Amino acid sequence: MRKEFSLADTIASIASFPSKAAVGVIKISGKKSLEIISKIFKPKKKKDIKKAKTYTLHYGWIVDKSKESREKIVDEVLVGIMRAPFSYTREDVVEIYSHSGQVVLNKILDLVLKKGARQALPGEFTRRAFLKGRIDLSQAEAVLDIVEAKTDKALELGLSQLEGRLSERINQIEEILKKTCSELEAELSFPEDVQIRKDYSLDVQKAIKKVKDLLKNSEKGRLLKEGAFLVICGKANAGKSSLLNMLLREERVIVTPFAGTTRDVIEKDINIRGLPLKIYDTAGILEPRDLIEKKALEKSYKKIEEADLILLVFDGSQKLTSEDFFLIDKTREKKVIFVINKTDLPLKVEEEILKRYKKPLVKISALFSKGLKNLETKILKVIFKEGLDKKEEEMFLSNKRHIDLLKEALSLLERVKADLKKGFPSDFLFFNLREALERVSEITGKNISEDILDSIFSKFCIGK
């Protein structure tokens, strides 16, 4: 382990969000935690805080004795004691609950650091929990997922992973591969003791099925965690900005009767029934009149290429134009919902022609917010063909690192399966099986490098 991550150090950090709030939190973890708090905490009831029992809370004051012979009160606080191994890090942990505010929190933290702690690095508390065996690496990553969850569904995914449901499934795959590897190794080491070569194809197929079951919902999990990219496009004055306002349920974008009001890509975040969406309202300009409109058009086309779903808006009060057909062709290979807008006016658009493209079609009046519920249902149905509800036994992978590792493991296992059919020798099979096992083990951290750990925990905030 690198020197800056030495478990011998006692670490400290502000653990609460910097804002105007009632309570702020400073967290200390390590062997010197109780010694440090005893030097700066004056309990109301005279007691030796170093002898306090675990899971106890103590009222008093943080005091500064460093500048004057007389004690100087810094803040009125509560101090929580959690003794090893019954704490988040499995070390002695002290939490100071003070008044919120950066000045007072920084003063208390400064005192803690002067008394022997060092500033915690990003994610170091959770990293210690992993290194001390309290949680595995997939559970550690779930902590970050919970903190960053944008919706209830994303929170459910994080909590499920923190509870160890993914770890349980990974352990099952590991057990199959470990058993198969050990049998192959015995066959290679003591060939004279092996009377009949075992057929490993059933074990390999069993592992393949379990990996595929985990990967089955990975795209759905990714979208629930990261959100889907939804792009609204259409010719000028089709009502794209009005549609964005309707989805946002508030007037956030300027709407005028004049074509070309939107001259840039507008980005907004919304939540549709548990699905986070990043919506892009694109400029509806086919022939740019100036450099600004040209750049806006280039950005619009780029967003169309990146989109998970496109809402292609048609002006229902007009017949289809060359601009409409150009955009239909431009979005042909993408997931698209045709949206006929302005149904509050007499409809002139050729609906039968649009139906020939066999794309989902919704009619709305963005001006009067009619058809919103139907449109939201259609959006979820197109993105998630089987809906958002999941069975109890299903696991939604949402972490890109986990998905990539399982895909690599699956590729190796498929290779082993093919090699078994070709009658390849045991040493060749063993190599690929061992590689697959290593990929799977990286998910829970049984086989992981310091560089990967650095990368993972650098994404955490300093106090977590």
Q: How confident is the prediction along the chain (464 residues), in pLDDT tens digits per residue? A: 444 678 899 999 999 887 777 899 999 999 999 999 999 999 998 889 999 999 999 999 999 987 665 789 999 999 999 999 999 999 999 999 999 989 999 999 999 999 999 999 999 999 999 999 999 999 999 999 998 888 888 888 899 999 999 999 999 999 999 999 988 888 777 666 555 456 788 999 999 999 999 998 888 888 888 888 899 999 888 988 889 989 988 765 444 454 444 444 678 888 888 888 889 888 665 555 556 666 767 777 788 888 889 999 999 999 999 999 999 998 999 999 999 999 999 999 999 999 999 999 999 999 899 999 999 999 999 988 755 555 555 678 889 999 999 999 999 999 999 998 888 877 888 899 999 999 999 999 998 888 889 989 988 888 88
Instruction: Note whether 244 and 365 are same-domain residues.
Output: yes
Residue 179 lies in a domain: yes
Distances (CA, A) of 334 to 308, 311, 312, 359, 361: 8, 10, 11, 10, 15
Contact between residue 61 and residue 73 where contact means Cβ atoms under 8 Å apart: yes
What is the CB neighbour count within 10 angstroms for residue 108? Answer: 24
In a domain, 462, yes or no: no
Domain that holds residue 344: 224-383
- List all residues 6 or more positions away from 127 whose beta carbon is below 8 Å from its beta carbon: 5, 140, 453, 457
User: Does 367 lie in the same domain as 234?
Assistant: yes
3-state secondary structure the chain: CCHHHCCCCCEEEECCCCCCCCEEEEEEECCCHHHHHHHHEEECCCCCHHHCCCCEEEEEEEEECCCCCCCEEEEEEEEEEECCCCCCCCCCEEEEEEECCHHHHHHHHHHHHHCCCEECCCCHHHHHHHHCCCCCHHHHHHHHHHHHCCCHHHHHHHHHHHCCHHHHHHHHHHHHHHHHHHHHHHHHHCHHHCCCCCCCHHHHHHHHHHHHHHHCCHHHHHHHHHCEEEEEEECCCCCHHHHHHHHHCCCCCCCCCCCCCCCCCEEEEEEECCEEEEEEECCCCCCCCCHHHHHHHHHHHHHHHHCCEEEEEEECCCCCCHHHHHHHHHCCCCCEEEEEECCCCCCCCCHHHHHCCCCCEEECEHHHCECHHHHHHHHHHHHCCCCCCCCCCCCCCCCHHHHHHHHHHHHHHHHHHHHHHHCCCHHHHHHHHHHHHHHHHHHHCCCCCHHHHHHHHCCCCCCC
The helix-helix angle for 137-148 and 426-444 (nearest 10°) equals 40
The answer to whether residues 263 and 343 belong to one domain is yes
**Residue 458 belongs to some domain of the structure:** no
Of the residues 383, 417, 435, which one is the last residue of a structural domain? 383
Residue type, 404: D
Give a yes or no: residue 457 inside a domain: no
Task: Please check whether residues 210 and 252 belong to one and the same domain.
Answer: no
In this structure, the answer to whether residues 64 and 167 fall within a common structural domain is no
Give the span between the Cα atoms of 41 and 29, in whole angstroms.
16
| Residue 11 shares a structural domain with residue 46 | yes
**Residue 351 sits in the same domain as residue 260:** yes
Q: 364 and 235 in one domain?
A: yes
CATH number at 79 reads 3.30.1360.120
Please tell me the predicted confidence (pLDDT) of residue 261: 45
| Structural domain includes residue 163 | yes
Q: Select from 86, 108, 135 the last residue of a domain.
A: 135
Kindly give, in sequence order, each residue whose CB lies less than 8 Å from that of residue 318, ignoring residues fewer than 6 positions away: 348, 349
CATH of the domain at 175: 1.20.120.430
Q: Do 128 and 199 belong together in one domain?
A: no
Beta-carbon-side half-sphere exposure of residue 71 (alpha carbons within 13 Å): 10
Is there a single domain that holds both residue 248 and residue 352? Answer: yes
How far is Cα 285 from Cα 127, in angstroms, rounded to an integer? 51
Do 43 and 73 meet the contact criterion of CB atoms below 8 Å apart?
no
Specify whether 205 is located in the same domain as 352: no
Please tell me the total number of residues recorded for the chain in this structure: 464
Residue 461 lies in a domain: no
309 contacts 275 by C-beta, under 8 angstroms: no
Domain shared by 157 and 274, yes or no: no
- In total, how many domains does the chain have? 3
Q: Is 463 contained in some domain? A: no
- Residue 344 within a domain: yes
> Residue 323: which CATH number?
3.40.50.300
CA angle 358, 360, 361 (to 5 degrees): 105
Structure-block tokens of residue 431: 């190599």
Which of 79, 100, 135 is the C-terminal boundary of a domain? 135
